[in-house]
Amino acid sequence: MFKRVLSLNLNNSRLYCSKVNQNRLLPNFRETKQKEIIDAEKIYSITPVKPLKYPIDPIKNSQVYFVGKTTESVKYPDIPFVVKRTSTGKLPVYTERIGRYNNENFTILRKFDGDRNILKSELSNLLGESIPIKERAESFEIKGDHQKTIMVWLAGLGF
């Protein structure tokens, strides 16, 4: 039933394991590099609940998860609100677990300027009217885990 597989562990000593435990082996370095290249070319698109005032086109994964410091001046799109990236180049969208047993997820959007009402209405059009959005002093608190959706939307807008 079990097929014996010869593998090398971290100390380069021989180790026999069953086929069930094959997924615990270290991945091949070349395969992981190829996977990273494929993931960078992955294209995202969003289907909002209501039509957006500022629609976006499908974007690549590398635009959403850009990491690095930008030395050139950033040109923001002609939209009444601006969401600035962090100093490391990431979008300021975070998830937090709150509650007695960490059973409630919240998505936090920070570092934005401009018209808060338009940004809030666009978020409610994107996610749906049934999802509550709380307005804090310098952030929006959205119930549920919507980090990837908001990040794709913001990157598609050009932030």
**pLDDT tens across 100-122, in order?**
777 889 999 999 999 999 999 99
pLDDT at 91 over 50: yes
Find the helix or strand (DSSP H, E) in which 37 lies. Answer: helix 29-40
pLDDT at 67: 58
pLDDT at 34: 53
- Determine the Cα–Cα distance for residues 60 and 3; give it in Å rounded to an integer: 41
38 part of a folded domain = no
pLDDT at 135: 93
CB 106 within 8 A of CB 129: no
82 part of a folded domain = yes
pLDDT at 145: 92
Determine how many CB atoms are found less than 10 A away from the CB of residue 35.
11
Query: At 6, is the pLDDT very low, low, confident or very high (cuts 50, 70, 90)?
Result: very low
Domain count, the chain: 1
Q: Note the maximum CA span of the chain.
A: 64
pLDDT at 93: 94
103 part of a folded domain = yes
56 part of a folded domain = yes
Q: Collect all residues with Cβ–Cβ distance below 8 Å to 50 and sequence separation of at least 6.
A: 124, 125, 128, 129
Structural domain span for residue 91: 44-157
39 part of a folded domain = no
Q: Collect all residues with Cβ–Cβ distance below 8 Å to 16 and sequence separation of at least 6.
A: 4, 5, 6, 7
pLDDT at 87 over 80: yes
- Determine the Cα–Cα distance for residues 133 and 76; give it in Å rounded to an integer: 25
* The total number of residues written for the chain in this structure: 159
pLDDT at 20: 46
78 part of a folded domain = yes
109 part of a folded domain = yes
31 part of a folded domain = no
CATH number for the domain that contains residue 63? 3.30.780.10
